[in-house]
Amino acid sequence: MSFIKDFKEFAMKGNIIDMAVGVIIGGAFGAIVSSLVNDIIMPVVSLATGGDGLKNLKYVIVHAKEAAPDVAAVEEVAINYGVFIQNIVDFLIIAFSIFVALRVIMKFKRKEAEAPAPAPEPTKEEVLLTEIRDLLKKQAEDKK
C-alpha cells in the first residue's frame, strides 16, 4: 500500500499538476501555431514562391518508377527540405510566443519584488528594550 500512497503524494504535488496543465496547453498552442503557419503564412509564401507553399520543395535523389512486368515499383526518394523549413517557422513562432509570455510574467514578478515590504512589527523583546531605553533616558534627564 505504501507504493500507491507514495505515488498519490507524488502525483498530487503542485509542480506535477502545473506541468500537466502546461503540457496540455502547449499541445493546444502547438496546434494553433501549426494552423497559423499552414493556413495563413504559407499561402502568402506560396504567392511569393510561385508554387503551392514550401511543403512540396524537395530534392529528389531517386525518381519514382512504375512497376514493369519483371521489375518492382520504386518509390521516390527525396529530401523534403520544404517541410523542414515549415517546421522551423513553426518553432520560431512558438519560441517567440513563449519568450514574450515569459517576459511579461517576469515583468510582473519584478514589480512585486520591487514593492517595499511593510516593516515587520517589533517583537516583544524589542518593545521591552525600547521601553527600558526610554526610561533610562528619562532618568538621565531627570538627574541633570
- Give per-residue pLDDT as tens, 76-118: 888 988 888 888 888 888 888 888 888 888 888 887 777 777 7
- What's the number of CA atoms in the CB half-sphere (13 Å) around residue 68? 4
- Which grid cell sits at 63? 525518381
From the centroid of its chain, how far is CA 96? 10
Which candidate, 96, 98, 94, places its Cα nearest to that of 31? 94
pLDDT tens column, 14-30: 677 777 778 888 888 88
Domain CATH code at residue 11: 1.10.1200.120
The predicted model scores a pTM of 0.53
Supply the pLDDT for residue 52: 67
Which candidate, 89, 29, 80, 33, places its Cα nearest to that of 58? 80
More confident residue, 125 or 69: 125
Distance CA 38, CA 44 (A): 10
From the centroid of its chain, how far is CA 30? 11
* Number of domains composing the chain: 1
Buried-exposed string 49-69: b where 16+ CB fall within 10 A, e elsewhere: eeeebbeebeeeeeeeeeeee
Range of the domain at 69: 2-143
